[in-house]
């Protein structure tokens, strides 16, 4: 699944162990994506059974983002106190309970509560998993493993679409929403085998344990000592709360603001309205219910395949080129979708062109904007404020996601699909400009170098040099 090389270090036992640890952690992305795919397929059946209005259906989708924002906000505090592994395990428990509530729902309010709990779990996962990966992986694995987290989100969406399509013939939405229970239980078990984060251990003065973990994950004693000394140097600066650091350190404010902007821009690409509401979009384009369901599966396939390709490309092309290419593809494909839907072009040819445009759009997102925003947000924050900075950017992601998903159907009912797609196409052009002006290239750059350049006051786009 990952780029290979003839170098012996890529075949070492420590490399293999780091890979396994990263893969277990990245599997949290599978659960994040699974819910997206399942609710997309189940939404119509839930709406019919509970006579839910358009606003009710928007809330069924978007209440998850409220929970996710709460989860991401609390994850920083809890993961700093109790450790990344324990917090991930807590997320799996919440996921299991939330899915069970939805599956056994007798009233719409029970589904909302269940999805709120699932949202809290997802918010914790999207905060903690990339952070843990960035703190435990060495530079040559860090980008690939965080990209794997994003790719597994895509695989989860595909699995949700596929399972939902199979079950949709019988309207078995309760089976659909119960599906996350099994992988949540499996990942809970997998978390028992994860080591503590070296950064978390160093903050607690457990130097011997830090060296033990680093020796199990790094290839040479020199790497172990170099990273240990860097961690000790950071820890020696003393602990300052994230809010205090935000007030005192203008360069930290820059990295927090960059992370927030990256996450907001990711949501303004329009990806989640396509993922959540794809069956409705395709049914509006004269697909039947069954045809829309299986076309949605095709969207999931593209998302997953491109996500795998992104793992190979992230450490070859670099962050900035992939982000710009990704946004350009999305802008062009959404412009085509806007023309087709805005002009109400008739016939099967127009319908198939719309599907192709949406396929290309999803592929463009999976190529860069999907994985790289999470990667960058975990890389650009200094160690002392990393929990706080990543927490702020993750919170921004979920609030932006909520804002987009909670208004999409209402917006379409007022201005139509054409103008709505055109607006998202424009935001992708803005994303390109933003990337060129502010986003740094962090490929193969250590977190310590990025932090040193940031705190030295270098321009944001130059902190990876």
Position of tokens 């007022």? 414
Q: Give the other-Cβ count within 10 Å of 284's Cβ.
A: 15
Q: What is the DSSP string of 342-396?
A: HTT--HHHHHHHHHHHHHHHHHHIIIIIHHHHHHHHHHSS-GGGHHHHHHHHHHH
Q: What is the DSSP string of 72-116?
A: HHHHHHHHHHH-HHHHHHHHHHHHHHHHHHHHT-SSHHHHHHHHH
Is 71 within 8 Å of 124 (Cβ atoms)? yes
User: What does the pLDDT profile of the chain (465 residues) look like in tens digits?
Assistant: 334 333 434 457 777 888 888 889 989 988 888 887 788 778 888 888 888 888 888 888 889 889 988 888 888 788 888 888 899 999 999 999 999 999 998 899 999 999 999 999 998 998 888 888 888 887 667 777 877 887 788 788 888 888 888 887 777 889 999 999 999 999 999 999 888 888 888 877 787 888 888 888 887 788 778 778 877 776 666 566 778 888 889 999 999 999 999 999 999 999 988 877 777 777 776 666 666 667 777 877 887 788 778 777 777 788 899 999 999 999 999 999 999 988 888 778 888 898 899 999 999 998 889 888 988 988 898 878 887 888 888 888 888 988 888 888 888 888 988 999 999 999 999 999 999 999 999 888 888 889 999 999 999 999 988
Is 256 within 8 Å of 385 (Cβ atoms)? yes
What backbone torsions phi and psi does residue 206 show, to the nearest 5 degrees?
A: -95, 70
Is 393 within 8 Å of 260 (Cβ atoms)? yes
Is 281 within 8 Å of 362 (Cβ atoms)? no
Is 330 within 8 Å of 369 (Cβ atoms)? yes
């Amino acid at each position: 699944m990952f780029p290979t090389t003839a170098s012996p270090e890529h075949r070492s036992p420590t490399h293999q162990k780091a890979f396994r640890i990263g893969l277990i952690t990245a599997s949290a992305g599978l659960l994040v994506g699974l819910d997206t795919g399942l609710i997309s397929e189940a939404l119509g059946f839930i709406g019919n059974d509970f006579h839910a209005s358009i606003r009710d259906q928007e809330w069924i989708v978007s209440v998850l983002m409220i929970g996710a924002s709460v989860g991401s906000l609390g994850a920083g505090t809890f993961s700093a106190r109790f450790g990344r592994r324990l917090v991930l395990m807590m997320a799996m428990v919440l996921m299991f309970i939330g899915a069970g509530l939805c599956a056994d729902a007798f009233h719409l309010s029970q589904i909302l509560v269940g999805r709120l709990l699932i949202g809290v779990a997802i918010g914790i996962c999207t905060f903690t998993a990339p952070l843990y990966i960035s703190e435990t992986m060495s530079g040559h694995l860090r980008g690939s493993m965080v990209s794997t987290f994003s790719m597994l989100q895509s695989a989860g969406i595909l699995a949700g679409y596929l399972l939902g399509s199979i079950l949709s013939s019988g309207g078995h939405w309760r089976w659909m929403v119960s599906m996350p229970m099994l992988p949540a239980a499996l990942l809970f078990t997998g978390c028992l085998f994860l080591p503590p984060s070296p950064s978390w251990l160093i903050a607690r003065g457990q130097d011997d344990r830090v060296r033990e973990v680093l020796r199990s994950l790094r290839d040479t004693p020199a790497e172990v000592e170099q990273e240990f000394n860097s961690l000790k140097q950071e820890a020696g600066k003393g602990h300052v709360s994230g809010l205090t650091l935000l007030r005192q350190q203008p360069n930290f404010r820059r990295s927090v603001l960059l992370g927030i902007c990256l996450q907001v821009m990711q949501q303004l690409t329009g990806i989640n309205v396509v993922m959540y509401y794809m069956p409705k979009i395709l049914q509006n384009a004269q697909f039947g219910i069954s045809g829309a369901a299986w076309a949605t599966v095709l969207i999931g396939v593209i998302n997953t395949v491109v996500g795998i390709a992104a793992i190979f490309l992230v450490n070859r092309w670099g962050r900035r080129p992939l982000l710009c290419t990704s946004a350009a593809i999305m802008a062009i494909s959404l412009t085509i979708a806007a023309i087709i839907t805005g002009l109400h072009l008739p016939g099967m040819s127009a319908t198939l062109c719309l599907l192709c445009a949406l396929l290309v759009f999803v592929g463009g997102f999976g190529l860069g904007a999907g994985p790289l925003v999470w990667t960058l947000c975990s890389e650009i924050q200094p160690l002392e404020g990393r929990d706080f900075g990543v927490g702020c950017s993750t919170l921004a992601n979920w609030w932006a996601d909520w804002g987009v998903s909670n208004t999409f159907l209402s917006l379409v009912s007022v201005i139509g699909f054409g103008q709505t797609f055109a607006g998202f196409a424009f935001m992708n052009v803005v994303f390109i400009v933003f990337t060129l002006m502010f986003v740094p290239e962090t490929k193969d750059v250590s977190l310590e170098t990025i932090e040193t350049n940031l705190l030295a006051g270098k321009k944001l786009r130059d902190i990876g040099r």
